[in-house]
Structure 1
Amino acid sequence: MRRARLRIAVITGGIITLLIAVVGGVAHTVMVHAQDEQVWRELRYGAASGDLSSPPVCTWLFAPGVAPLANAPAGFPVRADVDRARRTQEPVERTVRRDGTLYLVRTEVRGDGVPVQAVFDMRFQLADRDHLWFALGVAELVGLLAAAVTGVVLGRRAVAPLAEALARQRRFVTDASHELRTPLTQVYTRAQVLARQADAEDLPDAHRDGLSRLVGSVGRLGDVLDDLLLSASLAAGPARRAEHRPVDLVALARSVVAEESERIRDRRLAVAVESPPHPLFVDGVETALRRAVGELLSNAISHTPGGGRIDVALSRSCGTVVLTVSDTGCGFEAAEAERLFQRFHHGDGGGRYGLGLALLREVVTRHGGTVAASGRPGLGARFTLTFPERGPAPTAVRPVTARRVWRAAVPRRGHPRPVGGPGRPGGSRG
């Protein structure tokens, strides 16, 4: 909304400024043309019929045998023009810039054979033109001020209804998501209990498969609600500064990998976290950052076939903390890299991209960072998050050989999965 209001103000100011500039240019052109025409008319009359002893104001007449006036400018008459007029019997006109002013000069031979040169001093006309430019400059400044005020008022009035509609939409999404969270969690918990009872009892396979799909569907519905809540909070504006805390991305990444250990084991994947032996702190909201890193890892798990590998690498670079998640999965076309972050984008291969990566970019942007994606079909994908590092960089950095590789712990088979709310049983690229 702020950007929309700013654009309206800038466009309004530009239009008013352009109008003033056009009007000023036209006025200056008309004024210059009128002055020049008037001066040349007076010069032609003075050179042809003027009284040599009493010329008009700002005009001097030079002729052989006639003494020039005491205030006549130096350097006149122009002898070359006199000789040319005598030779060709044709009038000669020119402009001469001298002594900080401009002179218009006309030389012609009168009917009695006397060559006369008329000189006009343009200093007063030039002063009028300078005054016109000054007035136009003042008008331009006043116009800019008026344009700024007008643009702000128009921007507020034009954008206010849209801002109110968006605010109502965010409130509706937030309220609806909160109201649905509790019953959805209860349904998810009950579905998990029923699924475990079905495993313990001798129920038909079709019933067990149906309960398993129900658990997955409810879990994905919970993910959608979480995405909607996060989207509404991000759209409401950046997190307040009081909510920001130092967050160790190394510990956060290891924790996210540990939470996904069951899916990692079920899909027979190798996941490694490579990081320096010291913490890497960024300034932000831990829950939002955890959601962003979790989204990247969930996508990598979902798009990496069994027996594949996922690498989570953290490093420091020029005052920033870089987190990279790369996999050996199906990858994507290079042209899809930017469109991956569009909501509900449909890929060329028919894959549907939901809210996850779009919200991930919003989270990263709100924390002053950037996100980039690269990949090739069949050769895996690589996502890179970059955040400003919190606090001064340490004076000494351990050598690369001291970097530690932490692999995801794989729980023993049969270890129960925690119950208490919708999880992330599956994911899609986005």
Structure 2
Amino acid sequence: MTPPAPAEWTAVRRARLRIAVITGTIITLLVTVVGGVAHTVMVDAQNGQVWRELRHGAMYGDPARPPVCTWLYAPGVAPLSNAPAGFPLHADLAEARRTGEAVERTVERDRTVYLVRTQPRADGGVVQAVFDMRFQLADRSHLWFALGVAEVVGLLAAAVTGVFLGRRAVAPLAEALTRQHRFVTDASHELRTPITQVHTRAQLLVRQAADQDLPVPHRDRLARLVASTGRLGEVLDDLLRSASLAAGPARRGERRPVDLVALARSVVAEEADRVRARRLTVVVDGPPHPLYVEGIPSALRRAVGELLANAIRHTPERGRIGVALSRSGRTVVLAVADTGPGFEPGAVDQLFQRFHRGSGDGGRYGLGLALLREVVTRHGGSVAATGRPGHGARFTIRLPECPPPPPENQPPGNLPPMSP
């Protein structure tokens, strides 16, 4: 089963990752909210209980035998030996005597928190009760630790759940993409033979029409039929090449250093007949030494050939096409510029869409530039286009440079430049 193409498979992986992240975020938020609520409830409950016990002890407690974690200070009564330092608070005692009202205060000291209530009693005395919150604070720390452990477990569960849900949720999409590419491959293979037969028969009809001296309109229609079947065959070839790119990871063994200068000169030489027929001028401007990139030679030849074919198709008679090769840092740059009608700057992205219809007479439906971008990106490079209406177009390929092959494996030298 053929896997989806890289760009589409990347979208599938992103969808899975997005589902995992969303699931993890939701679980994290739930744990955080539950932890915050539990902490708030615990703090309120503990504070309420401690204040109630402290008020009762301040009003009725015996300073000589105070409740647990509580100390009572009263005039004439010696504090217990384990009483915390810094108490009683004499300012609060003086204020309670003066106003006759209880004074409550929270004091942070010695890495703990003390709740202090200074209470006037019915007998006219004033008692100050101090409660140590050490154990309550320890309970809160244990709660936060437990919540932290729960958060870690929740994140792990979220990751596993997210991956599981991502695979289950995106599986139909991945299966649909796989079936789509398999259908394209099978359909293209099945259609290639009958379309080739139709194209061949149409060519025979054109020759018979010329031999039988049929009227010009009939011969023109037959010529258009031949051109249409030829373009249909090109579309099928592009579909097959696009589907075969999905097997790219399995073809890494075919990658080897390719001299892009020699390859470009060879592609230009192959188009000599078309160039002469359109009376074009093609100039290859490259260094005298090789520029190596790592890749599949046939795929790179298809990419460079598409750029040149696109320039020939859109350049009017007696026009000029320039093929320039250079090195920029560790990148090999190949640029193809023509003197054709150009395009609107805002249409750059559309040029690389599948079956985009170009403007002008040279426009046609096809996969050429879309396939070109797939080939270049699969080789770790990029392709860009610039142009203006009436000022031609320029397509630039950038590919990472690689070391030359060993001397015994180097390909033959560059082909001589073509003379149009």
Matched ranges for 1:143-158 at <5 A: 143-158=154-169
| Structure ranking higher in helix proportion | 2
Shift of 1:198: 5.0
**Letter in structure 2 aligned against 1:11:** I
Contact residue 342 and residue 389 of structure 2 kept, 8 A: yes
| TM-score for the superposition, normalised by structure 1 | 0.83
Matched ranges for 1:233-244 at <5 A: 233-236=244-247, 238-244=249-255
**Letter in structure 2 aligned against 1:169:** Q
Question: Structure 1 161/116 Cα, relative in aligned 2: closer, same or farther at 3 Å?
Answer: same
Pick from 161, 175, 180 the counterpart of residue 164 of structure 1.
175
Residue 121 of structure 1 aligns with which residue? 132
Shift of 1:345: 4.2
Matched ranges for 1:385-424 at <5 A: 385-391=397-403, 408-410=418-420
Contact residue 269 and residue 417 of structure 2 kept, 8 A: no
Question: Structure 1 219/346 Cα, relative in aligned 2: closer, same or farther at 3 Å?
Answer: closer
Question: Structure 1 106/359 Cα, relative in aligned 2: closer, same or farther at 3 Å?
Answer: farther
Contact residue 102 and residue 122 of structure 1 kept, 8 A: yes
| TM-score for the superposition, normalised by structure 2 | 0.85
Shift of 1:293: 1.8
Question: Structure 1 325/112 Cα, relative in aligned 2: closer, same or farther at 3 Å?
Answer: farther
Are 1:70 and 2:81 counterparts? yes
Shift of 1:268: 3.4
Question: Structure 1 4/389 Cα, relative in aligned 2: closer, same or farther at 3 Å?
Answer: same
Aligned residue for 2:116, secondary structure, equals strand
Shift of 1:229: 0.8
Pick from 359, 362, 372 the counterpart of residue 371 of structure 2.
359
Contact residue 257 and residue 404 of structure 2 kept, 8 A: no
Residue 24 of structure 1 aligns with which residue? 35
Aligned residue for 2:17, secondary structure, equals helix
Aligned residue for 2:342, secondary structure, equals coil
Residue 398 of structure 1 aligns with which residue? none
Q: Say which is worse superposed, 223-232 or 383-392, in terms of deviation.
A: 383-392
Shift of 1:217: 1.0
Residue 184 of structure 1 aligns with which residue? 195
Question: Structure 1 384/76 Cα, relative in aligned 2: closer, same or farther at 3 Å?
Answer: farther
Are 1:45 and 2:56 counterparts? yes
Question: Structure 1 108/242 Cα, relative in aligned 2: closer, same or farther at 3 Å?
Answer: same
**Letter in structure 1 aligned against 2:382:** T
Residue 186 of structure 2 aligns with which residue? 175
> Matched residues in 2 for 1:219 and 1:353: separation?
13
Aligned residue for 1:390, secondary structure, equals coil
Aligned residue for 2:68, secondary structure, equals coil
Pick from 396, 407, 413 the counterpart of residue 384 of structure 1.
396
Are 1:312 and 2:323 counterparts? yes
Question: Structure 1 330/76 Cα, relative in aligned 2: closer, same or farther at 3 Å?
Answer: farther
> Matched residues in 1 for 2:389 and 2:98: separation?
88
Matched ranges for 1:203-352 at <5 A: 203-236=214-247, 238-345=249-356
Question: Structure 1 364/91 Cα, relative in aligned 2: closer, same or farther at 3 Å?
Answer: farther
> Matched residues in 2 for 1:79 and 1:304: separation?
99
Cα RMSD (Å) of the superposition? Answer: 2.9
> Matched residues in 1 for 2:197 and 2:330: separation?
45
Pick from 15, 19, 33 the counterpart of residue 8 of structure 1.
19
Contact residue 331 and residue 379 of structure 1 kept, 8 A: yes
Shift of 1:256: 2.0
Structure 1: unaligned runs, 5 residues or longer: 394-403, 411-430
Aligned residue for 1:338, secondary structure, equals helix
Contact residue 292 and residue 404 of structure 2 kept, 8 A: no
Deviation per CA, 1:243-269: give whole Å up to 9, x if none. Answer: 212222112222222223333333333
Shift of 1:346: 5.7
Shift of 1:88: 4.2
Question: Structure 1 239/208 Cα, relative in aligned 2: closer, same or farther at 3 Å?
Answer: farther
Q: How many residues align?
A: 400
Deviation per CA, 1:355-389: give whole Å up to 9, x if none. Answer: 22222222222111122222223323222222221
Shift of 1:348: 8.8
Question: Structure 1 348/179 Cα, relative in aligned 2: closer, same or farther at 3 Å?
Answer: closer
Question: Structure 1 248/70 Cα, relative in aligned 2: closer, same or farther at 3 Å?
Answer: same
**Letter in structure 2 aligned against 1:74:** A
Deviation per CA, 1:116-158: give whole Å up to 9, x if none. Answer: 3222211111111111122122222222222222233333333
Deviation per CA, 1:318-355: give whole Å up to 9, x if none. Answer: 22222222223322233222233222346799966642
Contact residue 43 and residue 119 of structure 1 kept, 8 A: yes
Contact residue 387 and residue 394 of structure 2 kept, 8 A: yes
Q: Say which is worse superposed, 189-198 or 152-161, in terms of deviation.
A: 189-198
Matched ranges for 1:56-135 at <5 A: 56-135=67-146
Question: Structure 1 258/67 Cα, relative in aligned 2: closer, same or farther at 3 Å?
Answer: same
Deviation per CA, 1:89-136: give whole Å up to 9, x if none. Answer: 443333222222222222343344433322221111111111112212
> Matched residues in 2 for 1:273 and 1:295: separation?
16
> Matched residues in 2 for 1:270 and 1:392: separation?
31
> Matched residues in 1 for 2:342 and 2:105: separation?
76
**Letter in structure 2 aligned against 1:47:** A
Shift of 1:224: 0.6
Q: Report the identity percentage.
A: 75
Aligned residue for 1:125, secondary structure, equals helix
Aligned residue for 1:232, secondary structure, equals helix
